[in-house]
Amino acid sequence: MKTKAEYIESMRKMHFELYMFGERVTNLVDDPIIKPTMNCVAATYELAEKPELEKVMTATSHLTGEKINRFCHIHQSIEDLVTKSKMGRLLGAYTGSCFQRCAGMDTLNALSIVTYDIDQKYGTEYNKRFLKFLRHVQENDLVCDGAMTDPKGDRGLRPAEQADPDQYLHVVEEAQDGIVVRGCKIHQTGAVNSHEIVAMPTRAMREEDKDYAVSFALPADTKGIIYIYGRQSCDTRKIDSPNMDVGNIRYGGQECMVVFEDVFVPWERVFMYKEWDFASDLVEKFASYHRQSYACKSGIGDVLIGAAQLIAEYQGTSKANHIRDKIIDMIHLNETLICCSLACAHEGHKEPCGTYFVNTLFANVSKLNVTKFPYEMARLAQEIAGGIVVTMPSEKDLNHPKVGEYVAKYLKGSEGIPIENRIRIIRLIESLTVGLGAVCYLTESMHGAGSPMAQKIMIGRRANIDRMKDAAKRLCGIDS
């Protein structure tokens, strides 16, 4: 397993074609915008080194019998599924941000199931290829970017109907030694902090869409893969005022647009090729795993609850009944999130390939809650903190030779609380609810792993309405 330092050094050796703010970025590791996001991924290595967290952060490879980072693991039991949820909460609280490895882990597990199922139907060797790739990932403790979301162009048209065929990633050429792909994956969390890009279809396909039914893995710095860094609210605070105004001074998340400009993929790295009838299954398997992964939001919720309690204490309102009531409401909502994630793990089952899979209905209920509860918690935190969350002067004003004394004087709260402490907590609440950190906590909660309607569709499909109707009929005496 890699150490935190070894991970960062491995990223220094990568050669991404990355653009940010209209300029080419050549030094990712030391870039002030990217560095906090890389630190966030590094935390997944750091905690795996701690003996007291070994059971949560590591697992035993079913391929080699060696101890590996849990993010590289294929679930072998209900206990593995449960531990995954606990790991998500742990890291969410530790980083207060998106630690960027969940999508890759969920992709690996989904592919372990679907490649096996394709082979059973068509006699292909996708699972053999996948397991070889998985061994490479485990033995080198690699970060994988699970790349599913396509731009989609005109949402009213299917992939093969688009005026611009590149709106969905697709195969443009087939050769003896591999395929050539073109297109784009967007909203890619942690893409330039990853060693490997693992692409999947983004939706169900029909036979006419078969060129879009493709899954593969490539080193993230493969020639022809171009990264365009996503702009985030308040992102330049990392440069202008990294000590205080940024809120979370240690960690952060990132998203990229990832362009594939006629990129070659060798056959040994291809895990689906025109098996259009399995595209929906791969999407559903990945989505269910990833909706379970939003246990991480309960960890970030822990941070927000802690910050709300602290600001109440710093401002002298913590003993007010309505403040205590709001804190309890936040705790209730947050614990409900982790309860649902754990439930879908406890109700999981073993697939024919041997991989354990979550309960799809409960996973979707879990994620639908995530699209709502963090927003209510953010509202409560803002109510507790007050309007100062969005009106406070900057760190530079606090340190100004003339106006600094006024800022310090009039931002004073409870006696004995350093003014800097109050400012830091307010900035953290701002970041998590309206600023830079809100990308990971709120926007990801809404759209990550699919928007609310995607979960509602799956809940409608998976809920056994007939069973409920039969129960109602029996109790009121309806026979037919």
Q: Is 105 helix (H, G, I), strand (E, B) or coil?
A: helix
DSSP letter for 479, please.
-
Q: Is 23 a catalytic residue?
A: no
**Rounded Cα–Cα distance for residues 459 and 454 (Å):** 9
Q: Is 228 helix (H, G, I), strand (E, B) or coil?
A: strand
What stretches of 293-394 show up as alpha helix (H) in DSSP?
296-315, 321-346, 360-370, 373-385
Which is the catalytic residue, given 196, 275, 395, 444? Answer: 444
- Which residue, 32, 290, 276, is CA-closest to 160? 276
Which is the catalytic residue, given 44, 290, 340, 344? Answer: 290
* Sole residue written with tokens 């822990």: 302
Q: Residue 184 in contact with residue 150, Cβ under 8 Å? A: yes
Which is the catalytic residue, given 234, 296, 340, 440? Answer: 296
Which uninterrupted H or E stretch holds 145? Answer: strand 144-147
- Pairing, β 356-357 against β 349-350: antiparallel
Q: Is 54 a catalytic residue?
A: no
Q: Is 98 a catalytic residue?
A: yes
Which is the catalytic residue, given 17, 75, 196, 255? Answer: 255
- Which residue, 109, 74, 78, is CA-closest to 348? 78
Q: Is 322 a catalytic residue?
A: no
Which is the catalytic residue, given 168, 294, 314, 356? Answer: 294
Which uninterrupted H or E stretch holds 58? Answer: strand 58-60
Which is the catalytic residue, given 102, 144, 184, 340? Answer: 102
Q: Is 290 a catalytic residue?
A: yes
Which is the catalytic residue, given 17, 58, 75, 98? Answer: 98
Q: Residue 376 in contact with residue 326, Cβ under 8 Å? A: no
Q: Is 294 a catalytic residue?
A: yes
Catalogue the active-site residues. 98, 102, 189, 255, 290, 294, 296, 444
